[in-house]
A and B are shown apart, each in its own frame.
Chain A
Amino acid sequence: MTRSRITAVGLMAAAALTVTGCTAADAPSDGPVTITFWGSYGNGGNSTQQDALNELLIPAFEAEHPDIHVEYVDIPYDSLLQKLTTSAAGEELPDLVRADLGWVPQFAELGVLVPLSQEMEDFDELADATYPGVLATNLYEGEYYGLPLDTNTRVMVSNQAALDAAGLSAPPATFDELRSLGDAVKGTGTFAFAENKLQAWNIMPWIWSAGGDIADPDLTTSTGYLDSDESVAGIQLLVDLYVQDAVPNLIIGNEGATATSDGLPGGQYATILDGPWMRGVWSGQYPDFDPVYSTVPAGDGGSVSVVGGEDIVLTQSSENKEAAMEFIRFTQSEQFQIEMVKTGQMTVIPEFAAQQNEIEPFYATFATQLETAKNRLAIPDASKVDAILQEELLPAFEGTISVKEALANAAAAIDPLLPGAK
């Protein structure tokens, strides 16, 4: 990433801003228009993200656009989906929403979102600057309904002391090394690996790394993909470790088991998969814990993790779409992206990755992992897929049916949900 390229992109973005800025200014206006933006930047008691937005970024944007006033409304994360749903029913949505990337197809299907790829003349330039994998989460029926705002992925996080005790100097880099770790911890009371659930977010890294997938690229069938030998190999690894007590029953959904966020620093779990946000949590709670980050253990398909993050979307009910799109452009700017990096959000624009890793060297592993990370199914019924996986895979872990059967059952249930099959 050369400096000149970064400058070039910056200039392009600036040019885009001025061009459209004029368009917006041409519109007759009496006083500044107000656009509302809903999100969950207020991360619990930690307000650094919200503060960066309210005190730095929005004022900067308003200074450049005196005719636009941005009002950010913080909604509790756990309730955002419910608030969006009811507001959509009452046609009371705000102009802009910071949406979990899994929700975009769901709301696009409802018809409440503006297809940005149609409405924004500079959409392609903005889109091309982002990670393709992250951008793809906005795609629904051939149109893009949002732009990536921030991203993340899961990498392997290890407790070095637990690894040492098992005789490993470095985190397991392959499936086989993880299996050896499983054998090494036998009888020590330490688990080789811990996982929360059996949803796509949890199991897809193992399926992809094993060379499997959940469906074909055209999304016509899951059968033949989710129950392929490769996919089976990925899940079989987890089931084998579970059966030999190297993975705790947290994975089948035991809410009473020690959480990964406590078990890893406590040394009960040698490794977990998790995102960049945990660093801040641990530095507060377990100041002595020094997490080791590495890429997801590689199988026959390489080391492939799952993409997470948020997108920004524009709603159909917005009365100030031009102004709102102006703010969307601003979210893609270097200023916005870098400021958010400082608060713990990873940039969605590869050109800023070097700068990001300079600010926080810790992001490097995540950035590497993101290069190959894949999306979960970007379909309106993605939440149903999660429920199916959770339910159908449980018997395989309990040992009542084989992994192959469990995955075949899940695939059969997922098939009718795929848009290509409808």
Chain B
Amino acid sequence: MSRMPLAAVFRYVVLAVGAIIMVTPFIYLLSTSFKPQAYVLTIPPEFIPNPATTANYEQVLTSHNFGLYFLNSTIVTVISTVLSVLISSMMAFAFARFKFRGRELIFRILLIGLIVPAMMLIVPQFVLAKQLHLLDSLVGLIVFYVAGTLALNTFLLRGFFEAIPAELDQAMQIDGASAWSRYWRLAIPLAKPALATATIFTFLANWDEFAWALTIITDQDKLTLPVAIQLFQGQNATEWGLVFAASAIAIIPVIIVFLVFQRYFVQGLTAGAVKG
């Protein structure tokens, strides 16, 4: 009986030690963003900024149209994440719940898309985007962000859809439910933890994407945050206080998305199945 609290204490100690290791560099980043002057990475590291200043944040927020870049990033990331998760969940549903000609072949081709280094595709994609008149536009970002995250999300969601017990599916079919309603009313609600995971990862990937945005966006009013942050890194000197302050601001939306979507984790498959 008395073992239970002890086990719980042990569990918390292990978790806390791990959490400290995970968080230390991040705290370092935050503290640096509050330090005055360039090159604030002192050795050995100082965790308490002395003197502390909010000058870096003020400069970040007032220079370079930061608000506009933040808005651009938000628009692009939200739209591309929604589209990517929707389209790839449809593909995953097809792979998981149907047997059809070319299923494994198409899936493996998708897998190739995951594996070819994206850097190598930049030049052909750039030429393609030019032909499609997608250069220098947020639409150009969205289209390629969606395309770029499809394979991964499909791969991820396929497993979750496969895991849905066949009995539920068959029961719905006997009731005469169409494929679409089995997808929308059964698969999607039951795969909430997976969809939340896919949403969190896709949002992060698109929010942080740099190379493609750098390549196709030239109009300074259409820049996204990662490129704008890179502008704080100079040729001969980088003001790390600024870079880290900008990075700290840029992390906020990803954390919000994480906190919002992670609550779907408490609704497990079993709970859903009982309800279904």
Contacts and interface: CB of A to CB of B under 8 A. Distances in A.
Indicate if A touches B (C-beta under 8 A). yes
Given A82-B215, A90-B127, A92-B130, A77 B37 contact: no
Interface stretch (A17-25, A42-50, A346-354, A407-415): A42-50
Given A76-B230, A90-B127, A281 B236 contact: yes
B214 A280 contact: no
Contact of A46 (B127, B215, B234): B234
A165 interface: no
A82 B242 CA distance: 24
A56 interface: no
Given A46-B234, A280-B237, A86 B130 contact: no
A291 to B, nearest CB: 15
A29 interface: no
A90 B122 CA distance: 11
Contact of B233 (A36, A73, A77): A77
Contacts of B123: 85-86, 89-90
A42 B233 contact: no
Interface string B229-266: 01111111111001000000000000000000000000
Contact of A258 (B43, B59, B235): B43
A45 B231 CA distance: 8
A316 B89 CA distance: 46
Interface string B31-49: 0000001110001000000
A79 B234 CA distance: 11
B63 interface: yes
Q: Among A91, A92, A262, which residue has the most Cβ atoms of chain B within 10 A?
A: A92
A94 B135 CA distance: 14
A44 B233 contact: yes
Contacts of B63: 45, 47
Nearest to B41: A262
A281 B39 contact: yes
Interface in B197-240: 211, 214-215, 218, 220, 227, 230-239
A277 B237 CA distance: 9
B213 to A, nearest CB: 10
Interface in A268-282: 275, 277-278, 280-281
A278 B231 contact: no
A90 B237 contact: no
Contact of A281 (B126, B127, B237): B237
A284 interface: yes
Nearest to A73: B218
B202 to A, nearest CB: 24
B215 A277 contact: no
Interface string A59-84: 00000000000000111111100110
Given A43-B235, A44-B232, A92-B130, A73 B220 contact: yes
A86 B122 contact: yes
Contacts of B215: 82-83, 86-87
B37 A43 contact: no
A92 to B, nearest CB: 6
A89 B242 CA distance: 33
A76 B231 contact: yes
Given A92-B135, A258-B43, A277 B236 contact: yes
Contacts of A86: 122-123, 126, 215
B214 A284 contact: no
Contacts of A90: 123, 126-127, 129-130, 135
A79 B237 contact: no
B112 to A, nearest CB: 22
A45 B127 contact: no
Nearest to B127: A90
Q: Among B126, B214, B234, which residue has the most Cβ atoms of chain A within 10 A?
A: B234
Contacts of B126: 86-87, 89-90, 92
B130 A285 contact: no
Nearest to B42: A262
B55 to A, nearest CB: 11
Contacts of B39: 261-262, 281, 285
A159 interface: no
Contact of A77 (B38, B127, B135, B234): B234
Interface in A225-282: 258, 261-262, 275, 277-278, 280-281
Contacts of B238: 44
A160 interface: no
Nearest to A286: B39
B127 to A, nearest CB: 5
A77 B214 CA distance: 12
B122 A278 contact: no
B37 A285 contact: yes
Contacts of B135: 90, 92
Given A86-B122, A90-B127, A45 B232 contact: yes
A77 B235 contact: yes
B237 A78 contact: no
A275 B214 contact: no
A221 B212 CA distance: 40
A82 B214 contact: yes
Contacts of B129: 90
Contacts of A92: 126, 130, 135
A86 B135 CA distance: 12
B214 A43 contact: no
15 contacts: A44-B231, A44-B234, A44-B235, A45-B234, A47-B63, A74-B220, A76-B227, A83-B214, A86-B122, A87-B215, A90-B129, A94-B218, A278-B236, A280-B237, A281-B236
Given A44-B231, A45-B232, A89-B126, 12 more contacts: A44-B239, A45-B63, A73-B218, A74-B231, A76-B231, A76-B233, A82-B211, A83-B215, A86-B126, A261-B237, A284-B38, A285-B38
Sorted from nearest, which 4 A-B pairs have the closest CB atoms? A44-B234, A45-B239, A76-B230, A77-B235
Interface of A: 36, 40, 42-47, 73-79, 82-83, 85-87, 89-92, 94, 258, 261-262, 275, 277-278, 280-281, 284-285
